[in-house]
Structure 1
Amino acid sequence: MAEGERRLDKGVVDRSEGFGERLLGLLLDRARLLPPQLIAPLIAEEVAGIGGRDVSILLQDYAQELLVPLPGRKLHVGQPEPVTDSPAGRAFLRAAVVEVPQAGGSVRMYLPLLDGSDQVGVMALTLDAVDDDDRRLLGRLAGLVADLLVTKNAYTDQFFLVRRREPMSVSAEIQWGLLPPLTMSVPQVEVAGILEPAYRVAGDSFDYALNDNILHMAVIDAMGHGLDAAAMATVVIGAYRHARRVFVSLAEKYAFMDDAISQQFGPDHFVTAQLMQLNISTGEMELVNAGHPAPLLIRGGRVLRQLESATTLPVGFGGEAPRVREHTLQQGDRVLCYTDGIIEEHVAGGEPFGEERLIDCVNRLGEEPSEGLRADLRRLSHTLKRERGGRTSDDATLFMIEWHGGAADHFATME
């Protein structure tokens, strides 16, 4: 019997609140010094302590198509599971536990691994029977596993190699290392982003940060391909973060980025960009559009209009102060930002894909039930790729914001 485990008179494993606290406490005590390769065996042992078996940890691949099993001692390692149309995929996309009855009366549980609100992957396991104590304990365990995977990811290439399903270019390595989490969700606002082609992206990137009630966002597209574009993207995102962290205005952020590109790369290089600031309490948004296609405002699942702004030169071509446009969102509004690789890809007949086809795809998908921001954005990305004949010859980035408003102060009080 594992340390700290006790059984009830009827021989049933005790999964009460006190037992769960001891079990999670043991994991926390060991987490600080735990080598990355021992996460899997320890988790499998913890699950076995509550009567679970066949534990799998599934990580999302970079193309957001598969959930790939992490190898490790004591883990059940099967085939990758599709994000679409699988129990693991439903748990992942909906950020909700999925329970699948098995032959003989047991239950296969799929628990989303959430680091904050960013979906890391899914933990799957089998129990002979499931009650509310199991659900509570395993939900907390899944949260701790997600935190461990994210923390230890900085120490190892193991998790990266599991997620990589094909060779990755050097420029893509740089871009993926530059990105923040692909999703963020707090009660007032959600964001999600996706990059294509996942293994060859070079000049596209996005960044965001929530500082108090202001959500700062940037979507960029550096000219060219390969390492030159990746280098410019790295410099411009670095300049954006620096400006953001010294609390300058949106116009001054543009100037910081413009100076960095022009001084480092000269007058023949540029980066298109969208810079935004959203007050998550009021829905007031400021926008600077420096050479990008205008963002789309989506309300009730349909594109309402473009969020126009005065013309500002791409970053690196500056000189004049940018013009900041203000917009006010309504609760439930979504804002879709995209780079020109989405609409300039040539389709059958040689014509560009175009903005009208993009809007048509958004509206058609908006008629279907929403599965949440990240799932909806992923579905849009994959639909657009199919509509373009599977081609993504240039970087193609989507970044979406959904504003809810309200407050989150109740999370800071103990009930």
Structure 2
Amino acid sequence: MHSEAFDITTAGSPASAPLRRVLIVDDSPVQLKILSVMMKRWGFDVWQAESGEEALELCRQVMPDAVLSDWMMPGMDGLEFCRQFRAMSGDSYGYFILLTSKSEKGEIARGLDAGADDFLTKPVNADELRARMNAGGRILSMQRELTRTLDQLRQAYDAIDRDLRQARTIQEALVPERSRQFGPAQVSLLLKPCGHVGGDLVGMFGPNPSGLGVYSIDVSGHGITSALMTARVAGYLGSDFPDQNIALARDATGLPVYRPPEEVALRLNDRLSADPGVLEYLTMAYLTLDLGTGRVTLVQAGHPPPLVIRADGAMHFIGDGGLPIGLISGVSYAPIEITLHDGDRLLLYSDGITETELPGGGMLNQQGLAELAAECLDARGTEFLDDLYWRLSQRTRPGSVLSDDVSAALVEFGTRA
């Protein structure tokens, strides 16, 4: 094994940047000498090896920028050396030229499959060799620039990923508890973003012991923009500060009271549609429940029809759509009224459930949701919602993941709640 160095800073050579270290491999001492003289004259740092085994040992010590290797050598030939060189080079790419007398297309294909970048026919022409080395230098320069760019992208991705994970933690804080008892009623929540963050939101509040409010919201789109919108809406409907909740007012005694759901939808629509910088809109199902009578007043603003589950297992959907919130100013919303009796349940949900794609094509739809709910009737509260979500995930296409955010709010009324 031989190592001969040449200071390229004094050579004025084309090897001044990406391609400096060159390994020449040939079992012929004469060929080694000829090629080494040419390469050193052009300013390259030159290493020599007389066999593939010797060359690999040298590469383990110093990875060359380029390799000129004879194809036909005793023991390990140039083809096998090329394969092993590629296997050990990892992220450090070296330009590999095979020196050969072979010119058949099939042989050239074998060389390319082994990892060779270029070929030179022996005896080597100096001008052609220099041109191939210049080409190799350009390729290495692009490869290293791409590597630097990839490293920068990875750093940017890591930073974004950290921010998104923190954003997910913040969004999860918008639903601080999954279940709460309000006298004879229990409300349970489910929120499953399809990415780090999502555009779905569910919530509940009950500052007045005579009733409660429950909402299910789905912001258009996905990702960060939608998540920012959910955070904004959560501030309008938060439970921690009743005076800032647009669904609440104060009566003459100062006690918090619930505004009619249709008024809440109107107030929220006016706020969002008046902002010219907001392009997103949202669908919403929002209800108030009178805990003394079981009377539910609900508004449906473009949200999927809520599912009523009676104590005897009978089910039906209520509502006929309505306009989403934030699209058009001055829209009015009509209330829907039903009464829950002992053991009845009411499920609000996002279209991430009913629009789940099935293996045979098509979507789950309302009928499929009713079938899933029927399979979960023995469960209550969060157990019902978790069972529903698990069964939904089993209905998707094999190996796929849910492509939309999934959320739900379950209201259970009466002594069996």
Pick the TM interval, shorter chain.
Answer: 0.5 to 0.7
Q: Is the 8 A contact 1:202 1:227 kept in 2?
A: yes
Match of 1:230 among 227, 236, 243: 227
Distance 1:226 1:268 in 2: 14
Query: Which amino acid letter does the alignment assign opposite residue 216 of structure 2?
Result: V
- Cα shift at 1:191: 0.8
| Corresponding residue to 1:245 among 248, 260, 266 | 248
Map of 1:256 onto structure 2: 267
- Give matches, 1:44-193, under 5 Å: 169=165, 171-193=167-189
**Hey, what does 2:82 align to over in structure 1?**
none
Q: Does 1:340 pair with 2:340?
A: no
Task: Find the counterpart in structure 2 of residue 46 from structure 1.
Answer: none
Describe the superposition over 1:64-84 as per-residue Cα deviations: whole angstroms up to 9, x where unpaired.
Answer: xxxxxxxxxxxxxxxxxxxxx
Deviations 1:349-403 (A, max 9, x none): 332222221111111222xx43x32212211111111122462111011211101
Q: Counterpart of 1:189 in structure 2: which amino acid? A: A
Structure 1 170/383 Cα, relative in aligned 2: closer, same or farther at 3 Å?
A: same
TM-score of the superposition, structure 2-length normalised? 0.53
The answer to whether the 8 Å contact 2:304/2:349 transfers is yes
Aligned partners of 2:415, 2:265: CA distance in 1, in Å?
27
Q: 1:217 is paired with a residue of what secondary structure? A: strand
Q: 2:401 aligns with which of 391, 397, 403?
A: 391
Q: Report which stretch shifted further, 266-275 or 324-333.
A: 266-275
Q: Aligned partner of 2:188: which letter?
A: A
What per-residue deviation string (whole Å, max 9, x for no partner) do you get for residues 322-365 of structure 1?
A: 10111111111011111001111222133222222111111122
1:185 deviation in Å?
1.7
CA contact (8 A) 1:272 1:291 kept: yes
Residue 273 (structure 1) aligns with:
284
CA–CA distance in structure 1, aligned partners of residues 190 and 405 of structure 2: 11
With over 3 angstroms needed to count, the CA separation of the structure-2 counterparts of 1:205 and 1:261, relative to structure 1, is: same
**What one-letter code is carried by the residue in structure 1 that aligns with 2:200?**
D
State how far apart, in whole Å, the 2-side matches of 1:171 and 1:307 are: 34
Shift of 1:186: 3.7
Distance 2:389 2:293 in 1: 29
Pair 201,355 (structure 1): closer, same or farther in 2 beyond 3 Å? farther
Determine what percentage of the aligned residue pairs are the same residue.
Answer: 27
Work out the CA distance in 1 between the residues paired with 2:335 and 2:175.
Answer: 25
Give 2:190's aligned residue: 194
Question: How many angstroms does 1:303 deviate by?
Answer: 4.5
* Aligned residue in 2 for 1:11: none
Provide the rounded CA distance (Å) in 2 between the counterparts of 1:347 and 1:168: 29
- Match of 1:402? 412
Residue-by-residue CA offset, 1:271-330 (whole Å, 9 max, x unaligned): 100110000111000010001110101123635211225x42111024222101111111
Q: For residue 261 of structure 1, what is the amino acid of its counterpart?
A: L
Larger Rg, first or second structure (1 or 2): 2
Using the size of structure 1 for normalisation, the TM-score is 0.53
Structure 2 spans left out of the alignment, 5+ residues: 1-161, 239-244, 250-256
Amino acid at match of 1:232: M
Name the CA distance, whole Å, in 2 between partners of 1:339 and 1:301.
25
2: CA distance between counterparts of 1:262 and 1:297? 31
Q: Indicate conservation of the 8 Å contact 2:183/2:291, yes or no.
A: no
Q: Is the 8 A contact 2:301 2:324 kept in 1?
A: yes
**Displacement of 1:256 after TM fit?**
2.1
